[in-house]
Structure 1
Amino acid sequence: MKKQAVLTQSKLGLAIALALSGPIAYAQESDAQATSDTTIEEVVTTGTRLQGSAAAVVEERKAQAFVADILGAEQISRTGDSDAAAALRRVTGLTLVDGKFIYVRGLGERYSSTQLNGASVPSPDPTRNVIPLDMFPASIIESMSVQKSYSPDMPANFGGGNVDIRTVSIPTDQVFDVSVGTGWNTNFSDDGLSYQGGGDDWLGKDDGTRALSPEMVTALARYQETINTANIAASEGISTAEAAAINRQLAASLNTENEVYSKSLSPDIDGSVTYGNAYDIGHDLTFGFLAGVDYGNSWSNSEESELVLGIADGEAAVDQASESRVTTQNVELSSLLNFGLKLGDYHRVETSTIFLRNTSDRVEQGVVETPNSIDEEGLSYFDTDIRYEQRELLTNQIRGSHYFPQFWGFALDWQYADSRASRDAPGEVFYRQINDRDLGEGLGNLAFQQTRTATTLQYQILEDDAQDWRVDGELPLYLAEMDILLKGGGQVSKKARSSFSRRFAISAEQVANDALQNVGYNDLFSDANLTDQDFGFALFGAPTATDPNYLAAQQVEAGYGLADIQVNDDWRVSGGLRWEQYTQVAAQLDLRNMTVIGDPAEAGRVEDDVYGSLALTYQLNDEMQLRVGYGSTVVRPDLRELTEVIFVDPLTDFKVRGNSELMTTDIDNFDVRWEWYLPAGENYSVAMFYKDLANPIEAVEAKGTDSDRVITFLNGQSGEVYGLEFEFLKDLTFLSDGLFLSGNLTLSDSEISIANTGNVELTNNTRRMTGHSKYVTNLQLGYDSLNGEHSASLIYNVAGERIAFAGVKEGAVGIGDAVEQPFHSLDLVYTYYPDFSSKVKLKVQNMLGEDVEIQQNGRLIQSRSVGTGISLEYSYSF
């Protein structure tokens, strides 16, 4: 029985009060707890790394009751992937999008969930509910599990699958590892861009240069977020001239002097240090710890182009065109600190503290053609866009595992996790100048405009807090030939998100036209000019109804029970039920008085339902098994998607607007997989899957009031995804000692039916689902020398074309869907082991020099050069 209702106003008030007062989180749980608490030991039979790395993960995969793929640390090392996102694209049926998000079996990132050591983690992304997986460096990962069929001990918010990232665990002996590395990209041959208004960012943290000044913070509180001259005069009871002087001083307090210049890019650098040990402290007690720090400073330099298509004269036409150069500095800093206490063989308590920081400092400059705005031939805009984004995740976990042989072998696991993710974007500065191409190139042909937005500055802060309590119990029973494992547990997960944004514009409407020509940013927006009443600058800033300011809270209460029955040597039956009650509230805020915009009673929802699964495993022989599974799950709108505010997606630059009318997606999942496991790590598998979706959620392009794209979300009437997966690992020693080949292939299709609305007119109402690729291929040709001194891998990855966003129409004329083109990735990784303790790794990535491209109506509407990356790393284990 499914119930749905809206929250009362009192419950909304309680949810918002909780969101303001402290960390509230939503989390998800997994049966991976037991495996995350157990160190996986490699089994090496003949000395090759192929067999050693395969054996560790194959045994776990075989033992799973539900369909899952496991990726071990050694496999990640072989492919040379530096983070979780890049590594997961090697898993069967998974595709990597924007370098950060994983699509499982062709379903977008909303249809997958992410856990860290069995607990959910909040997200610092303003437009997505899932955490960007590029934040997790490979150095802290012990293994990753991708579960593709649903089990009741996992959250019901399960679509394509669940990714559990298991961090390195406490060692049994002393470990001390050090690594250093450097890298270079072919795009570095062109100079990059930098600017003078930045701070000291080598640790990936703004030193305060970009942040709102103390004077501005005080003024925003004093004048209720509106610092326009008229409001200051009314608030203070002073003259307009006096208020204008205050207004100009506030303008001068902003970081407006950001002169952009060209610079040669330095090579990338990275390094890590890990140390841990275990101590016998007597009385059958063992204490252990592990500490690690990972640092990276890298650059990307690319050429980008974009077209925005519209309808003109009954056919598709260009509304906007741009070509730009983009330089981004990325700083990554992570640390891990684990403590553990073990009592005998039956009781263990561990803590994990993980801190991740990922900072992006981005400069973009280029020419923008807007035919609707500029009619004079030879004129265009020259835009400068500076963005600084700091993402952080801090999570604290404590978990225990207890075994009671005196109580019939009862086992108890428990966990508490407290996490906070944040996104601080204090340095978003935008300049627009008129570009007179007839005057040639350089500063002499550029002029600022006498507009209210001579420059704009935006300051955003997002915090996502999560808390999760869970307990799981297991009891084995033995009846005749049957081995039965009963498992049950409960979970309470909470999540709270707050998002605030302030936007200011410096007006040059009263500035003399000649003062705006042939001038740089620093000279024009100097403190002297900003505070000079005769120069004519004015500062504007006031909240609007579309500002992305909101509070949201979510709570999931759940209980489950399942049975795993080994009926005999041939049959295994696993299944159970999960009950969840889901409560969510999302409310847009007016910062002037911190009140909710709209009807509070309509801002929340409550749902509860029972979700089930059943899995059958048939042992064909000692090496082969056949799995069949079914699960009923849901995918719910996230906190951001239910608020009708507009964000700019930091990855796509598209405007994104929520939809408070979104409904939950119900999914029926069906899986069949045949598996064949051979000695020496060889294995083969073939899988079939089918997913039936009711009310699937899709990102679509909405009708906008200007030439910018606005992406929103709609429920379709129905959707389905189905396909085949093939996977293999083959030893090729019959060709050459130490040679092997591994890979996977996914062939699938999807269909969604989605109706037009007053705000959205789609060209194709029945089509493939957004983000779905008809094929995904991974191939790895590997080599391990018999003397153990050399290993090499040649890795190929490609995903078929996928719809980036659906095309829209006006009247009878429509624009086709925008389709991202296949990206053929070919990487080479070579590792040399000069001795038992050290290794040197060389990586060459994107050897084919592919670019990221999106096409629409047969035209290239987006492109981004990637270049070929080369890196070298040395590591030593003491």
Structure 2
Amino acid sequence: MLAPLDCRTALIGIAALATLPIQAQAQARDDLGPALTRLAVERGVQILFQPRLVRGRAASPVRRDTTVDQALAALLSGQGLGARRVRPGVYAIEPQGRAASTSDPARAPEDTATPVDPVTVTAAYGASLDRALTFKRGAAYSLDAVAAEDIARLPAANAAEALQLAPGVSLERHRGVGLYVSVRGLGPQFQNVLLNGRPIAMNDLVENGGFRGRQFRFEVLPADVIDRIEVVKTTTADMDEGALGGNIDVRTFKPLELGRRSVLSVRASQGQASKPDPAASGVWSWIDDSGRLGFLAAGMAERRRIRNDRLYQTGWNLDRFTDVLPAGLYTPTRTRPTLELEDRRLVSGDFALQWRPSPAWRTDVDLLVTRLDAHYDEFGLDIYPDDTTLARPAFVAGSQRVVGDTVQAGVIDNVRWMASRETSLNRHDLAAFGLRQSWTGGPWAIDVDYAYSRARSYHPDGQGTVRARAAFFAPLTYDFSGGRGAGPTLKTTVDYTDPANFAGQAFDYTFKDSRDTDAVLKADAARRLGPGRLSLGVEGHRRVRDYRRRDWILNSLLGTPLTSLGNDYYGETPVSDFLDGTPGDLPRRWVALDARAFYQRLFTPQIAAQPPSVSDLRNSFVVEEKILSAYARADFSGQWFGLAVDGDLGIRYAGTRQVSTGVLSSGADPIPAEWRKTYGNWLPSANLRIALTPDLLLRMAASRVVSRPNVVDNAPRITLARDTPTANGGNPDLDPFLATQLDVSLEWYFPSGGALTGAVFDRELDNYITAQNTFIQVPGRGEILLSTNVNGGDARIQGLELAYSRTFKALPAPLDGLGVQASLTLVRSQANYFAGDRVIKNALLGLSRTNYSLLAFYERGRASVRLGYNWRSAYLTTIGSSITAPATTAAFGSLDGAASWRIDRRTTLTLEGVNLTDARRYVQGQSDDQPMEIHHWGRYLSTRLRWAF
């Protein structure tokens, strides 16, 4: 019987990968531990062994045409060790007296499992690092992986938060939740996100009026159902085009890899909202006795309540008070203390079926369904120092304090102070189905893969975005000289906590519905040609974004005293410690409206029955992409100057047909519009891997990739802002832009586990998409600043990436449980593009010049402790315009940790914490003299109890 393995056990669990033959092993005797790891990679099995059993032992050579059992027997020959088949696809290395050696076919036939007692394996974090490095080492291209142990037990709520551990990956948080991922300095719109190797439809943002286009929303992929995540950083011809940053492939659990196993986890958490958040998840995996058929079901349900204290400012505007102030000075525009509350409820289910009736036949079926309901409730106090819609503010001469080109302090008369309340239910649904059929016969391998996914982000009927507003007009005394780390002074002579001072403003009700579908059918054929392989394939891919929006703006209570409506229509903000710990004389509590009361009074059936307005039609659109692609890829391997070398050369052609439909207008008349665009791109790629030594790999890669415009940028639409004289629109004539990618990396794998890796990369972007700003006249609104996108910029990104991980097993006890993981990415950009008539140099949206992560862990016996810090430097958030300053998000770092205690072989108790230092995020204008935003979402602490059977 296999004894329970302790925290120092090396668990190498590998899914099937197409990797190179074990050439180094065929040439010389290798260390046994790494040889077993590489065998697991090549053959798609799990091999369990204790490091002390293989330490100092050399492996015998293995022929390429052997079975797994024969290969293990050859590796272990003369070592006093044997391999026992625990279950299909899982082997345990033991002293020979205790193992049924695979060298005896009668005792361990290839197609049956040896009867054993139940085995419980506690997979250590150090073992998960080894597993991730095994994927990286065996891949035919540049790859980084995050394995199941990292995902399940780090304080990561979703796939994006788990990816912080991968080198070159940075995270964008939204109210403290990780939503979007950047790779090597390139923003979320430049990544391909895959689920089990297949494209996936994208849920889009619907709250607060915005949408993101091609940026995948990772919160709909909960961490508890994920086995591993691979970040592919170089391209091969068979990969989907479009990944300028990387292909992020999220892999869910598979039954033939897990065997018969069940895991149940319950969690209780609490954050700044000061309410307990429950969560439960489970994975159940079953295989038949033959090991050929497997079924898996996984699920998760969680509730998370969020509170984010935010001081929000839309920017600093140029030359707004030239009747008093000299030209060339920036003054503040809309400023808003905002309390954001969310009640998020996520339910997700994952199902997998695998059938292996013979070694030549493989069938895989996958289904993932997720529903996220996010109840949003926002309390704001809008201050409009330069809005002339209802009144004309006037700067008080002599009150200004000017620093550089910024009026940091002053007094402005006749300013609108507006209490607002916004509520909505934002629902995000995702369903993804995949069917893959593989057949191998002789030298040929045929693979057919079909995937269909549908994502919808919308407001259910009657629960759209409801905005109620009430205001008064009074002087504003402001002072932003405290800098971005402090709150500004925002004072007036009128009491904003007294409802008697407020009168009604416009009431808004908005319904938004974003529907995305993604369908792909792919067929591949490969033939072995001696030591190499030739692969050919075709793919048909269809994406559709159908976005619908309606806005009702009702002025029936405009100017009505708030107190005349009754006590049911107003109250006070529900917290008294708004932005606690932030200095500054700013509003901490103010009148709060009841948005649902306004909705029930104003949104009558007659209002709801009104036909869509011209503005509604302009806001709605459909964009369809049909992509037909084909590729050829040749894999080779051999010896160059006595070194083992392998790689691939390939070419891919992608032909794209795009149809954008929407509505334009001429005065009050809607005009249906349709744009058709067709283009094709030839995309070559090459990857080369050289084994300088068995543990030192040199990789080189080059490719040409295409980056298509964001869906929302292609749409024929114009969306007007409700509270500012601005709008944004699409441009159906946008061209994609191409990029040339070069990558060189060096990977040194330590015999005792761990690695030191480094890479340099170069991305040159042609015909980069940039912003254009134009003033237009809109009936009823006057002059509006319209922002859209055009081709024409040039950009280049170069960088250095370093990663190190090590478990110090050679140290004397008790220090042998220590381990570290670290990564550093340095990026520089050379860019030249425009925002209106303003030239922007060497700054790209979302690009942080420096990213690093540090993680230390200690595991011994039943205990495990991990502490990690992830940091990214400042990055450009918006590029501004001719009359507005750009916005930059300041550097941000988060300290996260987890501590676990293994109560028994099946039960583990874990304490987790996110943002332990209570860090806050800050945004500023074009200099430190222009502070703009403060975000404070607080710490998030959890207790988890996990059972594995």
**Where does 1:271-670 land on structure 2 (aligned, <5 Å)?**
271-280=280-289, 286-307=292-313, 308-312=315-319, 313=322, 314=327, 315-373=329-387, 375=393, 380-404=417-441, 407-408=442-443, 410-426=444-460, 427-435=464-472, 438=493, 440-442=495-497, 444-449=499-504, 453=506, 455-478=507-530, 483-508=531-556, 516=564, 519-521=567-569, 525=598, 542-544=613-615, 547-568=618-639, 569-589=643-663, 597=671, 599-600=673-674, 603-646=675-718, 656-670=728-742
One-letter identity of the residue aligned with 1:114: V
One-letter identity of the residue aligned with 1:864: H
What's 1:163 paired with?
A: 248
Aligned partner (choices 32, 47, 50) of residue 45 of structure 1: 50
The answer to whether 1:850 aligns with 2:924 is no
SS of the aligned residue for 1:717 comes to strand
What's 1:139 paired with?
A: 224
Aligned partner (choices 852, 856, 873) of residue 781 of structure 1: 856
The answer to whether 1:768 aligns with 2:843 is yes
Q: CA deviation at 1:310?
A: 0.7
Q: CA deviation at 1:50?
A: 4.6
Tell me if structure 1 keeps the 8 A contact 2:280–2:301: yes
What's 1:28 paired with?
A: none
Q: 1:401 to 1:446 in 2, by over 3 A?
A: farther
One-letter identity of the residue aligned with 2:661: A
The answer to whether 1:838 aligns with 2:910 is no
What's 1:207 paired with?
A: none
One-letter identity of the residue aligned with 2:873: G
What's 1:16 paired with?
A: none
Q: Distance in 2 between matches of 1:648 and 1:118?
A: 39
The answer to whether 1:870 aligns with 2:931 is no
The answer to whether 1:683 aligns with 2:750 is no
Q: Distance in 2 between matches of 1:675 and 1:271?
A: 39
Q: Distance in 2 between matches of 1:653 and 1:356?
A: 38
Q: CA deviation at 1:299?
A: 0.9
SS of the aligned residue for 1:781 comes to strand
One-letter identity of the residue aligned with 1:463: R
The structure number with the bigger radius of gyration is: 2
* 1:41-84 CA distance string (max 9 Å, x none): 36443388254213322222112221111111112234321210
What's 2:575 paired with?
A: none
Tell me if structure 2 keeps the 8 A contact 1:701–1:808: yes
One-letter identity of the residue aligned with 2:742: F
Tell me if structure 1 keeps the 8 A contact 2:758–2:800: yes
One-letter identity of the residue aligned with 2:277: D
Q: Distance in 1 between matches of 2:285 and 2:191?
A: 33
Greater shift in the superposed pair: 319-328 or 504-513: 504-513
Q: CA deviation at 1:532?
A: 13
* 1:443-483 CA distance string (max 9 Å, x none): 5335333x6x2x110111111111110112222222xxxx1
* 1:321-348 CA distance string (max 9 Å, x none): 1111111111111001222222122212
Q: CA deviation at 1:492?
A: 0.6
Q: Where in structure 2 are there 5+ consecutive unaligned residues?
A: 1-14, 20-40, 53-122, 205-210, 394-412, 474-491, 570-593
SS of the aligned residue for 1:620 comes to strand
Q: Distance in 1 between matches of 2:171 and 2:782?
A: 31
SS of the aligned residue for 2:334 comes to strand
* 1:650-704 CA distance string (max 9 Å, x none): 9x99965322232211100000000101123210111100011101224677768
Q: CA deviation at 1:875?
A: 1.1
Q: CA deviation at 1:546?
A: 6.7
Greater shift in the superposed pair: 389-398 or 37-46: 37-46
Q: Distance in 1 between matches of 2:316 and 2:629?
A: 47
Greater shift in the superposed pair: 31-40 or 436-445: 31-40
Greater shift in the superposed pair: 537-546 or 45-54: 537-546
Larger RCO (CA within 8 A; separation ≥ 6): 1
Q: Distance in 1 between matches of 2:549 and 2:914?
A: 38
Tell me if structure 2 keeps the 8 A contact 1:157–1:636: yes
Aligned partner (choices 73, 79, 93) of residue 168 of structure 2: 93
What's 2:875 paired with?
A: 802
SS of the aligned residue for 1:765 comes to strand
Q: CA deviation at 1:556?
A: 0.9
* 1:475-524 CA distance string (max 9 Å, x none): 2222xxxx112112111111122111111123316886587566543697
**Where does 1:23-42 land on structure 2 (aligned, <5 Å)?**
41=46
* 1:353-393 CA distance string (max 9 Å, x none): 11012222111112111123454558511111113211111
* 1:236-267 CA distance string (max 9 Å, x none): xxxxxxxxxxxxxxxxxxxxxxxxxxxxx521
Q: Distance in 2 between matches of 1:559 and 1:541?
A: 43
Tell me if structure 1 keeps the 8 A contact 2:16–2:45: no
The answer to whether 1:183 aligns with 2:220 is no
SS of the aligned residue for 2:869 comes to strand
The answer to whether 1:820 aligns with 2:892 is no
Q: CA deviation at 1:707?
A: 11
One-letter identity of the residue aligned with 1:139: D
Tell me if structure 1 keeps the 8 A contact 2:188–2:216: no
Aligned partner (choices 796, 818, 826) of residue 720 of structure 1: 796
SS of the aligned residue for 2:136 comes to helix
Q: Distance in 2 between matches of 1:447 and 1:302?
A: 26
SS of the aligned residue for 2:189 comes to helix
The answer to whether 1:84 aligns with 2:121 is no
Q: 1:65 to 1:799 in 2, by over 3 A?
A: same
Tell me if structure 2 keeps the 8 A contact 1:390–1:425: yes
SS of the aligned residue for 1:680 comes to coil
Tell me if structure 1 keeps the 8 A contact 2:372–2:428: yes
Q: CA deviation at 1:808?
A: 2.5
Aligned partner (choices 817, 826, 830) of residue 738 of structure 1: 817
Q: 1:390 to 1:514 in 2, by over 3 A?
A: closer
Tell me if structure 2 keeps the 8 A contact 1:751–1:766: yes
One-letter identity of the residue aligned with 1:324: T
Q: Distance in 1 between matches of 2:770 and 2:48?
A: 45
Q: 1:173 to 1:94 in 2, by over 3 A?
A: closer
SS of the aligned residue for 1:508 comes to coil
Q: CA deviation at 1:150?
A: 1.1
Greater shift in the superposed pair: 355-364 or 112-121: 355-364
Tell me if structure 2 keeps the 8 A contact 1:689–1:723: yes
TM-score w.r.t. the length of structure 1 is 0.79
| Number of matched pairs | 741
Q: CA deviation at 1:624?
A: 0.2
SS of the aligned residue for 2:50 comes to coil
Q: Distance in 2 between matches of 1:538 and 1:440?
A: 40
Tell me if structure 2 keeps the 8 A contact 1:39–1:169: no
